[in-house]
């Protein structure tokens, strides 16, 4: 690519008039954590604004088409136990809203636990209905470009790009629910990236229509993790040069729609064989192109070799490649790998998880289960080690690499947002710094909302 030196005479212009909004709480990102945080803060009487870069809420669940509410249930060693719910609170309200729209399956087996599969349009409508019920203002197609600092440490708001012009938002408290700790990084606060800078590869998830789902389930069983014979078939066909399928262990979930599967099976890597990092512009773009190519190859394999998929066809892919990991914010506390595997419990825990450590690297993902147990995540994993009037929520929580591979999933993100919405309300209504809000007080408020965290 030819490089051009920018003349010192060049200046930056945007002649559109800027506009301004003042609010109590600004939430950046309308995914599971952002929606839960905004709804909860508004229910405490605060004025709340959500900025979302897409034209809908949903984040990774909808734009990335992850398609499932993972993390709701305990894991049991053995297949003889019924689903046992672990996570409650705001997620119960969201589930009820999706069920009212026929947008959610019952529990679907996923290895040693269960998940629930949603319909993406019902997710969008459910989020919008819940936010509207609490008077939350949502501005779509709004991309934050700058963070406003007051005195060098206090986050006073943001500047966002909109088609109307630059938007100046001033907020008493800002919640980074971007998933990527974008605001934390913009403010120059501490972050970490993956394991020594290496992140889990992205995945292009897609929907396959025209499937005889009844025949498919009769052949392969109720577990969304496909049996080992399919893994071995993929490996043998790859070796013969018939297909190019980078991931051999595939996850296929029946959806609320007739004749449809959600397919989590691609492994998007670079042309040079390395894991792509969505924080890097060229990597993110390469991932989109490579992901779509892989989708077509898996579609061909499914039609050729899977029972019930002989007439299947690609319905759609995610709006963007699914992102598992980018930045983690550095909080007052960090969820450690040992916290997860030991089933750590805490009096200031504001969320629970029994989801396995799920590492996607190589041809076969690695799942490390926590059976008959769970761990708790403390509030201070969402409070920056420096900076004022800022909280974060979602998969950018302060966590070590493997801990994050368990704590990042949707049910937990709903729980984080629920908790951080309460934390924001306490900080504003009681005139507290975010680091002076007590996790025990948040836990009490969450239990009052039906989170069932225990005393």
Per-residue pLDDT, averaged over 7-28, amounts to 90
The answer to whether residues 48 and 184 belong to one domain is yes
Specify if 182 maps to a domain. yes
pLDDT tens, 105-119? 999 999 999 999 999
Between CA 313 and CA 261 the distance in angstroms is 10
| 230: helix, strand or coil | helix
* Contact in structure between 320 and 413 (CB atoms under 8 Å): no
Q: Which of 317, 335, 367 is the last residue of a domain?
A: 317
Chain centroid to CA 84 = 23
Pairing of strands 366-368, 375-378: unpaired
Confidence of residue 153 (pLDDT cuts 50, 70, 90): confident
User: Phi-psi bin for 194: left (phi > 0), alpha (psi -120 to 50), beta?
Assistant: left
How do strand 313-317 and strand 206-209 relate by DSSP bridges? Answer: antiparallel
Q: What is the pLDDT of residues 417-448, one digit of tens each?
A: 999 999 999 999 999 999 999 999 999 999 99
Count of CA atoms in the C-beta half-sphere (13 A) of 394: 32
Specify whether the CB–CB gap between 397 and 377 falls below 8 A: yes
pLDDT of 11 reads 86
Looking at residue 366, what is its pLDDT?
A: 67
Instruction: Please check whether residue 120 is in contact with residue 58, taking contact to mean a CB–CB distance below 8 angstroms.
Output: yes
How far apart (Å, rounded) are the C-alpha atoms in residues 61 and 32?
8
22 pairs with which residues across the strands? 170
Domain that holds residue 79: 19-197+325-448
Q: Is 78 inside any structural domain? A: yes
Q: Are residues 368 and 253 in the same domain?
A: no
Clarify whether residues 332 and 434 are in a common domain. yes
- Per the prediction, the chain carries an average pLDDT of 94
Report pLDDT for 91: 98
Is 159 part of any domain?
yes
Task: Report pLDDT for 12.
Answer: 86
Q: Are residues 313 and 329 in the same domain?
A: no
Is the per-residue pLDDT at 361 higher than 80?
A: no
Q: What's the half-sphere exposure (Cβ side, CA atoms, 13 Å) at 124?
A: 11
Kindly give the residue spans of alpha helices, DSSP state H, lying in 63-177. 90-100, 120-133
CATH number at residue 135: 3.50.50.60
For range 253-280, the mean pLDDT: 93
Q: Is residue 355 part of a domain?
A: yes
Q: Are residues 178 and 34 in the same domain?
A: yes
- Give 193's pLDDT tier (boundaries 50, 70, 90): very high
Give the pLDDT of residue 312.
98
In this prediction, residues 286-304 reach a mean pLDDT of: 97
pLDDT at 311 over 90: yes
pLDDT band at 5 (very low <50, low <70, confident <90, very high): low
Q: What is the pLDDT of residues 325-335, one digit of tens each?
A: 899 999 999 99
Q: How many domains does the chain have?
A: 2
The torsion defined by the Cα of 239, 245, 249 and 252, in degrees rounded to 10, comes to: -140
Average pLDDT estimate for 267-273: 88
Phi, psi dihedrals of residue 198, rounded to the nearest 5° = -95, 130
Q: What is the predicted pLDDT for the residue at 272? A: 87
Share of the chain above pLDDT 70, in %: 96
Does residue 297 belong to any structural domain of this protein? yes
Residues with Cβ < 8 Å from 80, sequence gap 6 or more? none
308 shares a domain with 224: yes
- Are both 157 and 30 inside the same structural domain? yes
Residue 51 lies in a domain: yes
384 vs 390: CA distance, rounded Å? 7
pLDDT value at 1 more than 60: no
Q: Are 24 and 159 contained in the same domain?
A: yes
Q: Which of 264, 285, 317 is the last residue of a domain?
A: 317
Rounded to a whole number of angstroms, the CA Rg of the chain reads: 22
On the question of pLDDT at 3 being above 80, the answer is: no
Helix/strand/coil (H, E, C) string of 235-302?
A: HHHHHHCCCCCCCCCCEEEECCCCCCEEEECCCCECCCCCECCCCCHHHHHHHHHHHHHHHHHHHHHH
What pLDDT shows up at residue 79?
82
What does the alpha-carbon distance between residue 252 and residue 250 come to, in Å, rounded to a whole number? 7
Q: How many CB atoms lie within 10 A of CB 24?
A: 19
Same domain, 217 and 159: no
Instruction: Note the pLDDT tens digit of each residue in 387-420.
Output: 999 999 999 999 998 899 899 999 999 999 999 9
Of the residues 269, 287, 317, which one is the last residue of a structural domain? 317
Tell me: do 23 and 89 sit in the same domain: yes
Whole-angstrom Cα distance, residue 142 to residue 123?
Answer: 20
pTM score of the predicted model: 0.95
Q: Do the domain assignments include residue 13?
A: no
Residue 263 has pLDDT above 90, yes or no: yes
Q: Are residues 390 and 419 in the same domain?
A: yes
Residue 60: its H or E element: helix 59-62
Instruction: Say yes or no: 217 and 346 in one domain.
Output: no
In a domain, residue 7? The reply is: no
């Amino acid at each position: 690519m030819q490089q051009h030196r920018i003349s010192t005479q060049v200046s930056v212009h945007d002649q559109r008039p800027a506009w301004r909004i003042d609010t109590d709480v600004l939430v950046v990102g309308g995914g599971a954590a952002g929606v839960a945080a905004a709804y909860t803060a508004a229910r405490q009487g605060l004025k709340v604004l959500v900025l979302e870069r897409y034209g809908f809420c949903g984040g990774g669940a909808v734009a990335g088409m992850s398609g499932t509410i993972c993390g709701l249930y305990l894991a049991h060693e053995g297949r003889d136990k019924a689903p046992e719910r672990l996570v409650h609170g705001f997620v119960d309200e969201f589930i009820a809203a999706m069920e009212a729209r026929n947008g959610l399956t019952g529990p679907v087996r996923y290895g040693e636990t269960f998940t629930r599969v949603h319909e993406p349009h019902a997710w969008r409508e459910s989020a919008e209905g819940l936010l509207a019920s609490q008077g939350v203002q949502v501005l779509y197609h709004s991309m934050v470009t700058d963070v406003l600092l007051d005195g060098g440490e206090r986050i006073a708001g943001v500047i966002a790009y909109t088609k109307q012009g630059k938007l100046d938002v001033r907020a008493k408290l800002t919640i980074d629910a971007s998933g990527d700790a974008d605001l934390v990084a913009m403010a120059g606060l501490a972050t970490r990236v993956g394991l020594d800078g290496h992140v889990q590869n992205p995945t292009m998830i897609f929907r396959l229509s025209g499937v005889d789902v009844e025949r498919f389930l009769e052949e392969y069983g109720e577990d969304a993790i496909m049996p080992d014979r399919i893994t071995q078939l993929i490996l043998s066909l790859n070796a013969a040069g018939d297909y190019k399928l980078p991931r051999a262990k595939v996850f296929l979930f029946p959806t609320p729609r007739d004749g449809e599967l959600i397919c989590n099976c691609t492994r998007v890597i670079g042309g040079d064989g390395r894991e792509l990092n969505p924080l890097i512009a060229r990597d993110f773009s390469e991932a989109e192109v490579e992901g779509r190519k892989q989708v077509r190859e898996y579609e061909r394999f499914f039609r050729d070799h899977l029972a019930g998929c002989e007439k299947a066809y690609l319905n759609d892919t995610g709006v963007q490649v699914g992102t598992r990991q980018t930045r983690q914010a550095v909080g007052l506390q960090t969820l450690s790998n040992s916290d997860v595997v030991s089933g750590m419990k805490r009096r200031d825990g504001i969320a629970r998880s029994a989801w396995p450590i799920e590492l996607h690297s190589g041809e076969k993902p690695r799942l490390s289960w926590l059976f008959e147990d769970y761990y708790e995540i403390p509030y201070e994993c969402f409070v920056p080690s420096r900076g004022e009037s800022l909280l974060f929520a979602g998969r950018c929580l302060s966590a070590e690499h493997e801990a994050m591979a368990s704590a990042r999933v949707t049910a937990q993100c709903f729980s984080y947002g629920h908790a951080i919405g309460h934390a924001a309300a306490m900080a504003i209504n009681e005139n507290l710094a975010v680091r002076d809000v007590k996790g025990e007080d948040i836990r009490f408020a969450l239990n009052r909302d039906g989170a069932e965290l225990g005393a």
